[in-house]
Each structure stands twice: as structure tokens, then as C-alpha cells.
């Protein structure tokens, strides 16, 4: 345990660093500020200084950002007692900029230099959210013959927005990403319409295979403003998630256009013209900004192989899988070994099908309880909450680790998981399952960030694989016959059902269908870090490509990710949009270069 003297020494070191940094900023001395950072150091800024989401590396990177930005940052201070462990001092900080208020996390090494520095913009001055002591009254007391009730106001807004009045922002996609961002924008007073092809919020979850449940634990998955209740299950069934999203959209007063498809979007002067089909009615919306919020992937990817037109059984992509009930006693072949493949295989086996999984490449497997205990437990768990690690703190700690070195923090976790679950992995390998832990053994989250596929958070299917209940085959599918799946090595698998659990294309391809190929090419690749690992070619970007930040297409934004990312990054995208709607200058530092698309 850290002693009182150590804490005092740590506080002194942090105060000295913040004082020196503030003085350098006030003097406009980028070199003096940069000298406060170690040779290996990382400053990650979420909108506060750069009006971007960017990470700069080393003193040269710090100096360059400060020479090219002018945030007017002042009043740097700690918000609680700094802590010291293993020679690193960690401090929670707050500060102000010319237009907003921010916070962050600072780590100093033993020589007093910054190792990591996170700065985030939390709110805009004069445009604070109407929360806590600023919350609206709701009721108008006293007599008023012209009283407008809350319901009348909402009905008027719903009738006019998109018709007689235009939204500031149109969000294309009404899953968790679009809903989380819509809630943020609603609180900031930004007129927003969410366009979603499904009828109701949550239908994108309800329509998936019936055994689907979240593989991430509940503590990781809260949406902004409304946490899941304390009796919510650790792993949420898909229909329960769907109900929650529908409730959330209603309670947060979102203008949600269900049964609406975005047909095209083009720039017209200072606005977009977004043509949508709203339940058979063509409507042209003219927002200033458009946000693509369609997850991190594009259209379902189904390989084209000879014989698909002659196969006499059922075949479909995993996203269209109706569930296992119709396949009792049937022979099912599931092509792929990712989360969806495992879930579908397990559900088919439970329903009495004869199931074979075709593993096309090695796959990373991690048991859900090991992931919760060793991987997420320090930040997202009841244990973490009891230790005072709120969701905000957990998100901040996680965000403070720059992508360049995140794998170094992840690898020990997965080394410990591999050691603890050694017999579990040995049983899978004896069954012929081909395992990996990522290109550098850094595990699940790095594969996800690097656009890697081929991972499964085990909630039960791996035992069926290990004991042979789910059969294994390996290789690429080269042909379908009337009743068989043929693999590259000549293996022939009898099949009444083929499920293509083969992932999705790039979101860039989806964008091309709405905005046109030229706009999609200017937008560039979406997702991935440029890490030069499998499926994530360089050059190095330092951040997720084009996510939650300005793109090379004016006023076109991309939002999405898992529930955690949708929650956390929706704030920073919402603040960028609010600033622009209000006419606040937003000079962007280091706009992403466009190298290639996929």
C-alpha cells in the first residue's frame, strides 16, 4: 500500500510538472513543453487541443502539435491525490481551454518526465448539458392559457423535423452506435434524425439468431446516461438488449425514423442532401452533417464458389441465420470459426443437428470467465466498482493507454490466461482446433482493433469442439455440390445446411452505396490502426482510421464500435458536432491521410 509520504511526494512531482507545462503553454514555448516528455512518451488528445482524436509520440510530436494548435489551455490541476506504483506516478487532472473544460490522466516516470498524457474535452462553455443542477424543470407551475405539454411539444417536433424544419445532423444507422450518439446530441440541443432500416430500435439485435447474447460483460456495456440496472444479467440475451435499446431511444427522446433507408447522399453547397425512403415515402433531408453509424463492418461477406446455385439445401450468411429449430436431425456445415460460428454451431447441436465447423484459419479463443477475471476485472466488474473504479474512470484509464504500446499491456494478461487455462487449450488442440493469440500474443482486443477476425469468447461451444460433439474440418471451401461442401484438400462434407460465418466487408463499401464511390474513396479506409499485422496493413495511423473524428470528406463522420466504444467516443464526436453547429472555430490538427481503401 502506498504510504502518506509517498503520496505527498507524488503530488509534489505532479504539481511541478503541471506548473511547468502550464507555464510553457502560457509562454507559447512548444520546446519547453516538449522537454517535459520522455524520449518514449505519448500524448493522446481527444478533441481538447487538436479538435481531433490523435496521438503524438515523443518530444518532437508534442512540439509539433503545440506549434500547430492554440487551445488556450489553463488551470491544470489534480482532482484527487496522485498515486505511485512501480516507479510510475499517476494523476487524475482537470483543466480549461478557451472554449471548454477537460480532464485526463497523466503518468510520470521516476525522472519526472511524462510517459503517457491523456487530455479529453468534456464540455463546451455555454453549451453544458442540462444535467444535475442544470436539469430542466419539466413542469410549468402556475396558470398559463397557452400551456404546451411535454407530449404536445414532442409530437410537434416529430411532425416538423425533416419536413418544415431541417436537422443539424442525420445519423445513418440506428443500432447502439447511432442511439448512443443521438442521445449525446439530444442533450446538447443538436437537432438530429436517426435513420434506420429496421422498424424499431433494437431490431438489429432481435433479428439475429436466437441464441445470440453479448459476449462482453454488463459492466463494459452501459450506454450514456442510463446504466443497466444492478440485477441485469452479466451476458445480455439479444432480445433483452433489443428491448433495452427500444426503451432507451424512447426515454432519451430520440427522433428515430424506423423503416427508413438512406438511398443517396450528396453535397449541395454547405449542406448534404440525403434522400431516404421512409416507409414508402421519399423524403429529402438537408442536414449540415451526416454520420455513418453502421457498426465497424459493411455488407455480409459470402465467398463466391462454384455450385452455390446447385446446392439443394439451405445456405445463408450468419447474419441471416434464423436459428436452429428447423434443422433437427439435419447435417449442418458452418464455414468459419469466429464468435457467430461457435454460437450457431452450439445452438444447432443443442437442437439435434449433426454439426461440422470448417476452420479456415487459426482462431483466438478465450474463456469468458478468464476474460472477465484477468482481462477486464480490474476495470469493469463488481470488484472494480467496490474499489471506486466507476465506468468513467475505467473508460479513462483504458483510453489513456496509447495504441502504439497497448499490446504490451495486453500480452501479460493473455500470458496469464494461457497459463491458467493450459489444459483447456490442450484439449482443443487435441481435437484438432488451431489456436492463436494474435500476431504478437496480445490477444482478443488487439485483434479486434487491428481488423483481425477469427476470435471467440467462449461461452460454452469450445467444450463441444474439444469433445467432438461439434466436428472439425479445415481449409477453404472450393465447391458446393447438390448435397456436399467440398474443401481444398478434397474433403467432402454432406450438408443440408451451409452457414457462411465469414464476416463482413469494409464499411467503406457500404459508404460507396450511399455516397458514391468517389466520396468513399476520399473518405478512405475505416477501422484498423495500420499496425502491419494480419489484415491491418500500414502505414501506422496511431488511432482508429476515420472513427469518431474529422474525415477528408467535409462534414461526413463515422461512428460505431462495440457498446463500450459507442458509449465512450459518442461524447467526443457529439462535442465536435455541437461546436460546428454553434460556429465555434474548430481548427483540426493532423487530418488523416488517405492511403487506400478496402
Q: Please identify, in words, the CATH class of the domain defined by 150-299+505-528+549-581.
A: alpha beta
Contact 104, 120 (CB under 8 A): yes
CATH for the stretch 4-124: 3.10.450.50
- Residue among 589, 590, 592, 582 at smallest CA distance from 100: 582
Query: What pLDDT is recorded for position 296?
Result: 65
Query: What pLDDT is recorded for position 595?
Result: 63
Query: What pLDDT is recorded for position 539?
Result: 93
Q: In 3-state terms, what secondary structure has residue 41?
A: strand
Measured between alpha carbons, how far is residue 487 from residues 306, 432, 490, 493, 502 in Å? 12, 16, 5, 8, 15
Query: What pLDDT is recorded for position 137?
Result: 87
Q: In 3-state terms, what secondary structure has residue 23?
A: helix
Per CATH, the homologous superfamily of domain 314-500 is FAD/NAD(P)-binding domain (3.50.50.60)
Query: What pLDDT is recorded for position 509?
Result: 81
In the chain, CATH 3.10.450.50 covers 4-124
Query: What pLDDT is recorded for position 2?
Result: 44
In the chain, CATH 3.50.50.60 covers 150-299+505-528+549-581, 314-500
pLDDT digits (tens, 9 = 90+) for 387-436: 999 999 999 999 999 999 999 999 999 999 999 999 999 999 999 999 99
Which residue ranges of the chain lie beneath pLDDT 70?
1-7, 296-298, 452-453, 595-598
Separation CA 576–CA 396 (nearest Å): 19
Amino acid at each position: 500500500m502506498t504510504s502518506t509520504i509517498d503520496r505527498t511526494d507524488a503530488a509534489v512531482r505532479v504539481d511541478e510538472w503541471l506548473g511547468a507545462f502550464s507555464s510553457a503553454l502560457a509562454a507559447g514555448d512548444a520546446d519547453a513543453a516538449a522537454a517535459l516528455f520522455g524520449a518514449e512518451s505519448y500524448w493522446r488528445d481527444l478533441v481538447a487541443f487538436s479538435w481531433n482524436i490523435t496521438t503524438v509520440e515523443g518530444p518532437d510530436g508534442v512540439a509539433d502539435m503545440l506549434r500547430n494548435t492554440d487551445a488556450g489551455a489553463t488551470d491544470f490541476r489534480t482532482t484527487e491525490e496522485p498515486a505511485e506504483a512501480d516507479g510510475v506516478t499517476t494523476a487524475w487532472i482537470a483543466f480549461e481551454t478557451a472554449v471548454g473544460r477537460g480532464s485526463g490522466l497523466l503518468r510520470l516516470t521516476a525522472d519526472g518526465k511524462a510517459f503517457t498524457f491523456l487530455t479529453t474535452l468534456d464540455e463546451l462553455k455555454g453549451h453544458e448539458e442540462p444535467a444535475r443542477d442544470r436539469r430542466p424543470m419539466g413542469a410549468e407551475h402556475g396558470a398559463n392559457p397557452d400551456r404546451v405539454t411535454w407530449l404536445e411539444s414532442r409530437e410537434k417536433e416529430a411532425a416538423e423535423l425533416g419536413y418544415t424544419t431541417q436537422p443539424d445532423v442525420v445519423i445513418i444507422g440506428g443500432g447502439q452506435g447511432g442511439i448512443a450518439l443521438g442521445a449525446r446530441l439530444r442533450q446538447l440541443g443538436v437537432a438530429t434524425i436517426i435513420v434506420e432500416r429496421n422498424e424499431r430500435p433494437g431490431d438489429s439485435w432481435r433479428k439475429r439468431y436466437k441464441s445470440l447474447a453479448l459476449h462482453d460483460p454488463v459492466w463494459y456495456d452501459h450506454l450514456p446516461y442510463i446504466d443497466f440496472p444492478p440485477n441485469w444479467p452479466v451476458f445480455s440475451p439479444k432480445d433483452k438488449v433489443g428491448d433495452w435499446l427500444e426503451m432507451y431511444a424512447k426515454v432519451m427522446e430520440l427522433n428515430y425514423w424506423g423503416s427508413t433507408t438512406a438511398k443517396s447522399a450528396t453535397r449541395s453547397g454547405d449542406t448534404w442532401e440525403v434522400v431516404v425512403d421512409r416507409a414508402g415515402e421519399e423524403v429529402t433531408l438537408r442536414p449540415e452533417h451526416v454520420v455513418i453509424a453502421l457498426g465497424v463492418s459493411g455488407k455480409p461477406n459470402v465467398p463466391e464458389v462454384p455450385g452455390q446455385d446447385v446446392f439443394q439445401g439451405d445456405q445463408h450468411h450468419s447474419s441471416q441465420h434464423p436459428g436452429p429449430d428447423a434443422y433437427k436431425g439435419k447435417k449442418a456445415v458452418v464455414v468459419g470459426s469466429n464468435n457467430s460460428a461457435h454460437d450457431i454451431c452450439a445452438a444447432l447441436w443443442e437442437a439435434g443437428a449433426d454439426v461440422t465447423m470448417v476452420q479456415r484459419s487459426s482462431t483466438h479463443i478465450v474463456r469468458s470467465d478468464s476474460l472477465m477475471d484477468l482481462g477486464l476485472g480490474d476495470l469493469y466488474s463488481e470488484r472494480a466498482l467496490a474499489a471506486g473504479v466507476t465506468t468513467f474512470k475505467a473508460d479513462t484509464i483504458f483510453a489513456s493507454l496509447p495504441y502504439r504500446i497497448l499490446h504490451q499491456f495486453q500480452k501479460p494478461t493473455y500470458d496469464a490466461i494461457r497459463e491458467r487455462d493450459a489444459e483447456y487449450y490442450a484439449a482443443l488442440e487435441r481435437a484438432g482446433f488451431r489456436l492463436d493469440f494474435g500476431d504478437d500474443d496480445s490477444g482478443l482486443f488487439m485483434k479486434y482493433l487491428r481488423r483481425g477476425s477469427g476470435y471467440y469468447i467462449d461461452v460454452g461451444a469450445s467444450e463441444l469442439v474439444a469433445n467432438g460433439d461439434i466436428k472439425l474440418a479445415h481449409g477453404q471451401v472450393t465447391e458446393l455440390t447438390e448435397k456436399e461442401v467440398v474443401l481444398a484438400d478434397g474433403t467432402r462434407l454432406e450438408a443440408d445446411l451451409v452457414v457462411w460465418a465469414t464476416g463482413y466487408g469494409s464499411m467503406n463499401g457500404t459508404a460507396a452505396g450511399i455516397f458514391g464511390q468517389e466520396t468513399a474513396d476520399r473518405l478512405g479506409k475505416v477501422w484498423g490502426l495500420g499496425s502491419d499485422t494480419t489484415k491491418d496493413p500500414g502505414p501506422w495511423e496511431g488511432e482508429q482510421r476515420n472513427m469518431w473524428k474529422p474525415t477528408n470528406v467535409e462534414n461526413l463522420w463515422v461512428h460505431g464500435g462495440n457498446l463500450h466504444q459507442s458509449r465512450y467516443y459518442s461524447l467526443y464526436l457529439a462535442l465536435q458536432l455541437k461546436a460546428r453547429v454553434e460556429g465555434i472555430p474548430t481548427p483540426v490538427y493532423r487530418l488523416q491521410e488517405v492511403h487506400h481503401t478496402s
